[in-house]
Amino acid sequence: MCSLTRIFQIRFFRVRPDQESKAVKDACVIGIDPGSQITGAGIVSQQGSRLLCLAAESIRLPRGDLGARLGRIYERISELVREYQPHAMAIEKVFVARNPQSALVLGHARGAAMLAGVNAGLEIFEYSATEIKQSVVGRGRADKTQVQHMMKVLLGLPEAPEADASDALACAITHIHHAQVAQKIARAAT
């Protein structure tokens, strides 16, 4: 394996080729941690009770023009959706920041990511940062290093993903957990 390929696989946590065909057939979710400078994206597949990380990355955005940054988010999320064909998108809700301008820009980044999902026919699910942390760490006020550690443990990764990619994976896992609970409730109601 050439060193460039090895670096790419380690950096982005791609699934091994022998697991890919089996994993992609199962339900999978793309999680998004939107940001105006770095947007996290992560794709998680569930195989029985096992969670598998298919891809995780921090999409670094160009400086300057907001339109170019939003275009990059849309393009990269669209590429990931085409490649992995997830069944749903889970995205972190915007929190009300102290700086209204920052909240507006973050809202634009969320919109670009959501548009990529909607254009691909995905159903979009939104979760607050507190819900995500509670779901994967057990504490709604967990810090980023705790989320990173839990992604490494829950997904059996060789190393913890970057913070933004880790948050995106956590968002995807949160949706998987919520979907499981909804299915159990629906079965119990029948």
Spell out the SS3 assignment of 38-93. EEEEEEEEEECCEEEEEEEEEEECCCCCHHHHHHHHHHHHHHHHHHHCCCEEEEEC
Give the angle subtended at the CA of 84 by the CAs of 83 and 87, to the nearest 5°: 130
> Which among 33, 57, 162, 167 is annotated as catalytic?
33
Report how far Cα 10 is from the mean position of its chain's Cα atoms. 17
DSSP at 102: H
Which residues on adjacent β-strands are paired with residue 91? 32, 126
Is the CB of residue 50 less than 8 Å from the CB of residue 155? no
CB proximity list for 110: less than 8 A, separation 6 or greater: 32, 34, 91, 92, 94
> Which among 57, 92, 162, 167 is annotated as catalytic?
92
**pLDDT averaged over consecutive 10-residue blocks of the chain (190 residues)?**
30 43 61 96 93 96 92 97 97 81 90 98 96 93 94 96 97 94 87
Q: Residue 96's pLDDT is what?
A: 66
Is residue 162 annotated as part of the catalytic site, yes or no?
no
Q: Residue 49's pLDDT is what?
A: 85
> Which among 57, 162, 164, 167 is annotated as catalytic?
164
Q: How far is the C-alpha of 176 from the C-alpha of 50, rounded, in Å?
A: 11
Q: How many CB atoms within 10 Å of residue 56?
A: 26
Q: Residue 97's pLDDT is what?
A: 61
Number of residues in the chain: 190
Is residue 92 annotated as part of the catalytic site, yes or no?
yes
Q: How far is the C-alpha of 65 from the C-alpha of 111, rounded, in Å?
A: 16
- Which domains does the chain show, CATH number per domain? 14-189 (3.30.420.10)
